[in-house]
Amino acid sequence: MSIKLTLLKTGEQLISDMKELVAEGKDQAHAYLLDNPHTVQINEKQFVTEDEKDIGGGDFGINVALLPWIILSKDKQMIIPVDSVLTVVEPLESVTQLYLDKMKSFQMQEQ
């Protein structure tokens, strides 16, 4: 499994299990296959605990929410052309864990 954070040219941030799609005889990917892509939404926290103040170095805090990317689709895998992507990076471990926990709870609900 390769969990990646993808920044699209539209400004959307997606987290998903990502694979590169490479045409036969080519060296570079021509598209990405995203498995269960979710939009990463970042909101300022309304309330911050004392522990979070100490760790964060101030009054700043954020909440991260993950929502299915195309919420009205029943498709679990989506193909994104390379030219729609600005960059692909490794997410923070806490964000990766949040995504994995959500995927695990989805699997339980489907059974």
- 78 pLDDT exceeds 90? yes
The pTM of the full predicted model, rounded to 2 decimals, is 0.79
Mean pLDDT in residue range 35-41: 96
Identity (one letter) of the amino acid at 70? I
Residue 82 is predicted with a pLDDT of 95
Q: Is residue 109 over pLDDT 80? A: no
Indicate whether 31 pLDDT > 80: yes
End-to-end CA distance of the chain: 21
User: CA dist 50 to 3, 38, 59, Å?
Assistant: 32, 30, 9
Cα 30–19–84 angle (5° rounding)? 45
